[in-house]
Structure 1
């Protein structure tokens, strides 16, 4: 019997500041299985017809669509977050994606937050699209004091993020709400000072989508190439392979330091090789989370 092959996609955010089309080019060139479309300020990312043209041109499918819920995309597709989530799910259907990734509501989005869980469930029932709510992280006080490496050391010494404020309602851990599906982001777990293995275990069979990236515990979200930080990226991948995971793994990494296209390609190729290597090596026994 042939083992199930977990698809590995590339987030369009991974090529920033290059374009959505650049992500399709890299995905085709390097052999990614698909794309996670980040909907944000770039006009192509908001245009379903333009995205379908890219799918046809590069013969790379869109696996998932990330709702425009970043602070920098608060005005994309209007100001109403309820309508924006509806529109994202509709866009996912139109481009053939099976998954929508969404962040928990911000605290100041009170109406959205009050009806968020019910809206997510209703959209899944209506469309069959998986709406996978993503773990986030607090705004840490040490972000404002000293260099990034000092914040990493402080988190290591105290064993957690220390003083912080969550901008999300009811919090940055979506498992407290009992949604049907989750996205696990390993870089966010690092910034939150969370145990990624424990969080994955808490999500259990509801874990539908993995943002594979690394982090060192800095007070800002790093999205390092997996293997370049302190997260158990390899172990998470092997555990997914052991569990019969039927969701998607997407590389959502920061390549802004790349000075040339070839440097960016090398970073994205390394990330893909890491994912494929460890997703092909099931754990013989799942380690108890730290």
Structure 2
């Protein structure tokens, strides 16, 4: 995918692969994993990306398989528990957690594991991260797609509780910006076989997403579809509501026969109710269908999701 043209013309629909559009279970927070499956089924998403975090259901293959059967929605990807808020999920060893994420993806029939670069304080993990990713991909058909991140404010890094982080974000101010990731927040600086491109993270980092996609090349197998305005914190807006060239990125992927998945990963915490949340998720899906699968126009009516 090197040299991605910023305005690639979509090829004939009959000669290219239809891009599957998934819903990250994180997009429905503070609702739970099952709610994400329900939204995905009723709105017409092709599957979900399972965010593994503190909710016990997200950590259980048996429970998630039950959701897959109940809602007829497959798991397209698994997001490893590598967030600051999930440092103790599946234990404290990030090496073991990444391997378990791959085995979970295998058990659920998912194609991809999304993982962040290691934090700087995870020295042993960071030293062996690239080798572990390569070894896991050698032994599995699952792609381990390393995600681009962004600088983080020092005061946010040292906040120990979620409400402390929220207080710092409300307070604003420049803070001290630094990379919390080793060696950097840009995985192409190390070089991996597979990548996840996150369009909210490029906004926060001030990174050109088209240039980053070109550096990722054919290794770009997973897209986190979102938007941002360049705030100091990760925004995950509905695509088209920020400053990122989301439509151009989608067009570039289409023009280069993108064979991976696009996943809606937006922040709906401020939605007044489930109906408002459904509207945000539906707008994101419409954007994805329009720019990734322009010939796909028929989708279920989102009206079955009512305010709960």
Q: TM-score by structure 1 length?
A: 0.90
- Report what 2:47 is aligned to: 34
Of the candidates 2, 5, 10, which is equivalent to residue 23 of structure 2?
Answer: 10
Structure 2 counterparts to residues 73-88 of structure 1, below 5 A: 73-88=86-101
Look up the SS of the partner of 1:208 in the other structure: strand
RMSD: 1.9
Matched, 1:134 2:124: no
What per-residue deviation string (whole Å, max 9, x for no partner) do you get for residues 91-125 of structure 1? 00001101000000000100000000000000001
- Report what 2:127 is aligned to: 114
Matched, 1:179 2:175: no
Aligned length: 271
Look up the SS of the partner of 2:266 in the other structure: coil
Look up the SS of the partner of 2:139 in the other structure: helix
For the residues of structure 1 that align with 2:294 and 2:111, how far apart are their CA atoms? Answer: 25
What per-residue deviation string (whole Å, max 9, x for no partner) do you get for residues 150-190 of structure 1? 87xxxxxxxxxx96210100010000111000000010010
Of the candidates 204, 211, 223, which is equivalent to residue 191 of structure 1?
Answer: 204
Of the candidates 237, 260, 266, which is equivalent to residue 253 of structure 1?
Answer: 266
In the TM superposition, residue 244 of structure 1 has moved relative to its aligned partner by 0.3
- Report what 1:285 is aligned to: none
For the residues of structure 1 that align with 2:219 and 2:169, how far apart are their CA atoms? Answer: 37
On the 8 A contact 2:169/2:233 being kept in 1, the answer is no
For the residues of structure 2 that align with 1:174 and 1:2, how far apart are their CA atoms? Answer: 32
Q: Structure 1 residue runs of 4+, over 2 Å off?
A: 140-148
Q: TM-score by structure 2 length?
A: 0.85
Structure of higher RCO (CA pairs closer than 8 Å, 6+ residues apart): 2
Look up the SS of the partner of 1:225 in the other structure: coil
For the residues of structure 1 that align with 2:155 and 2:94, how far apart are their CA atoms? Answer: 30
For the residues of structure 2 that align with 1:29 and 1:101, how far apart are their CA atoms? Answer: 25
For the residues of structure 2 that align with 1:281 and 1:269, how far apart are their CA atoms? Answer: 16
- Report what 1:227 is aligned to: 240
- Report what 1:286 is aligned to: none
On the 8 A contact 2:16/2:257 being kept in 1, the answer is no
In the TM superposition, residue 142 of structure 1 has moved relative to its aligned partner by 10
Of the candidates 231, 244, 253, which is equivalent to residue 240 of structure 1?
Answer: 253
On the 8 A contact 1:11/1:35 being kept in 2, the answer is yes
- Report what 1:157 is aligned to: none
For the residues of structure 2 that align with 1:146 and 1:76, how far apart are their CA atoms? Answer: 27
- Report what 2:65 is aligned to: 52
In the TM superposition, residue 238 of structure 1 has moved relative to its aligned partner by 0.8
Residues 167 and 141 (structure 1), Cα distance of their counterparts in 2 relative to 1, 3 Å cut: closer
What per-residue deviation string (whole Å, max 9, x for no partner) do you get for residues 178-213 of structure 1? 100000001001001111111111111110100000
